[in-house]
């Protein structure tokens, strides 16, 4: 029997843990409100999951959702990624223990290094360099904070780094949730020490994705409720807009469909006033609002609406190539659920992979879409052959 650590899909991991717990398919299906047929298809890689289903299965199996979304060992599309993740972990651990052991560096130099790393992360063309640069940058930045000079600006840089690059790169790299949470907490501690509305709001925004993927929707709502952002400048309005978008996705992941529309509308109003922007490197604007509308519709299962939104957007207008890749992943996921559109789904996922390989090859949710399509697409068709090549790069069983 395949070990849990080697399970190639979320469903395979569910099956292995269920067997280890001695629970029948019928029992777990009953606890989650799924049919046994639906759960069987999930376990055999024939149905990709959404966030609410992952949370429900984790609750039924009495584990954390993060246990279901771990990458298999060995991880796919590795290169130097796993070693970079380990180096980032060591750097974050050293800072959390008050021993960053870096160099004291002038604030101007650190600002340039942080901006370069965040810019490279948003371009998706130098992810290996981002991972290689982060450990020393984390150490030097926090060592310089401890030294006591230019502390307010250094704290702002720490918040920005951990929100804009550390947490984001760890997510794209497929790092374990506990490590992403370490980066979130460092950013949060810096924001609390800085104690400005902008720093605190950025730290909240940076942590929400980690809360969502680990099923902590109640905590995410509490964090959003406790965060206030003025909207008297274009920059602060963009930040407030991103928090509104986050609130809509939290509601969708929490199966509160009635609470999704209002924050999306608020974000849309802000976007009409700001236009296409990139304050704090968040890429907020009308295109981004459209992408988040897609993400929320994916979570509530309205796949026809996802496709309708997608076909009215121009993802290339988004300033972040990672968000462009996410557009194609969401589009591909929705297309995979519509009759007669599976070939288009494969093409959409291939577009995402070309932009950001890790966002397909090392993302558990995207990998599960590939697995579902594998089960439904003829092996020897042109699209089927392309799909099998993608699955091979993602380390999926065929």
Whether residue 144 contacts residue 104, with contact meaning beta carbons closer than 8 Å, is answered with yes
Ordered per-residue pLDDT tens for the chain, 398 residues: 445 446 789 999 999 999 999 999 999 999 999 999 999 999 999 999 999 999 999 999 999 999 999 887 666 766 789 999 999 999 999 999 999 999 999 999 999 999 999 999 999 888 889 999 999 999 999 999 999 999 999 999 999 999 999 999 999 999 999 999 999 999 999 999 999 999 999 999 999 999 999 999 999 999 999 999 999 999 999 999 999 999 999 999 999 999 999 999 999 999 999 999 999 999 999 999 999 999 999 999 999 999 999 999 999 999 999 999 999 999 999 999 999 999 999 999 999 999 999 999 999 999 999 999 999 898 889 999 999 999 999 989 87
Ordered by start, the domain boundaries in the chain are: 1-70, 74-195, 196-300, 301-398
The dihedrals phi and psi of 255, each to the nearest 5 degrees, come to: 60, 35
Domain 1-70, CATH among 2.70.98.40, 3.90.110.10, 3.40.1620.10, 1.10.260.40: 1.10.260.40
Q: Which of 87, 81, 9 has the alpha carbon at shortest distance from 48?
A: 9
Task: State yes or no: cis peptide before 155, omega within 30 of 0.
Answer: no
Secondary structure of residue 380 in the 3-state scheme:
coil
All residues at 6 or more sequence positions from 148 whose CB lies less than 8 Å from its CB, including other chains:
none
Whether residue 318 contacts residue 281, with contact meaning beta carbons closer than 8 Å, is answered with no
pTM to 2 decimal places: 0.93
pLDDT per position as a tens digit, 145-168: 999 999 999 999 999 999 999 999
pLDDT per position as a tens digit, 20-68: 999 999 999 999 999 999 999 999 999 999 999 999 999 999 999 999 9
Whether residue 218 contacts residue 266, with contact meaning beta carbons closer than 8 Å, is answered with no
């Amino acid at each position: 029997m395949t070990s849990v650590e080697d399970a190639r899909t979320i469903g395979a991991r569910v099956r292995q843990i269920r067997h280890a717990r001695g629970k029948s398919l019928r029992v777990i299906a009953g606890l989650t409100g799924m049919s046994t047929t639906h759960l069987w298809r999930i376990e055999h890689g024939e149905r990709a999951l959404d966030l609410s289903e992952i949370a429900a299965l984790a609750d039924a199996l009495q584990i954390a959702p993060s246990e279901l979304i771990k990458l298999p060992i060995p991880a796919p599309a590795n290169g130097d990624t796993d070693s970079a993740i380990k180096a980032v972990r060591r750097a974050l651990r050293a800072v959390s223990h008050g021993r960053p052991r870096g160099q004291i560096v002038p604030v101007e130099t650190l600002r340039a290094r942080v901006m370069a790393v965040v810019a490279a992360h948003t371009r998706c063309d130098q992810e290996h360099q981002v991972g290689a640069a982060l450990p020393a940058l984390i150490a030097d930045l926090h060592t310089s904070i401890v030294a006591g000079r230019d502390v307010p600006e250094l704290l702002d840089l720490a918040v920005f780094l951990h929100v804009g690059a550390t947490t984001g790169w760890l997510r794209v790299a497929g790092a374990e949730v506990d490590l992403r949470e370490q980066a979130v907490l460092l950013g949060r501690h810096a924001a609390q020490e800085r104690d400005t509305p902008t720093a605190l709001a950025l730290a909240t925004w940076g942590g929400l994705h980690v809360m969502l993927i680990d099923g902590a929707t109640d905590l995410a709502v509490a964090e959003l409720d406790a965060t206030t952002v003025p909207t008297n400048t274009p920059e602060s309005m963009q930040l407030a807009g991103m928090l509104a978008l986050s609130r809509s996705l939290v509601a969708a992941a929490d199966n509160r469909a009635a609470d999704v529309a209002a924050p999306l509308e608020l974000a849309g109003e802000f976007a009409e006033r700001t236009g296409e922007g990139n304050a704090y490197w968040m890429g907020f604007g009308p295109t981004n609002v459209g992408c988040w509308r897609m993400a929320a519709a994916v979570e509530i299962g309205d796949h026809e609406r996802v496709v309708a939104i997608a076909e009215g957007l121009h993802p290339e207008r988004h300033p972040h190539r990672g968000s462009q890749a996410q557009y194609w992943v969401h589009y591909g996921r929705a297309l995979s659920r519509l009759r007669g559109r599976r070939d288009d789904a494969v093409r959409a996922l291939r577009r995402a992979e070309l932009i950001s390989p890790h966002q397909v090859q090392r993302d558990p949710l995207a990998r599960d879409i590939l697995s579902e399509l594998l089960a439904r697409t003829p092996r020897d068709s042109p699209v089927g052959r392309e799909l099998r090549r993608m699955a091979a790069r993602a380390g999926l069983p065929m």
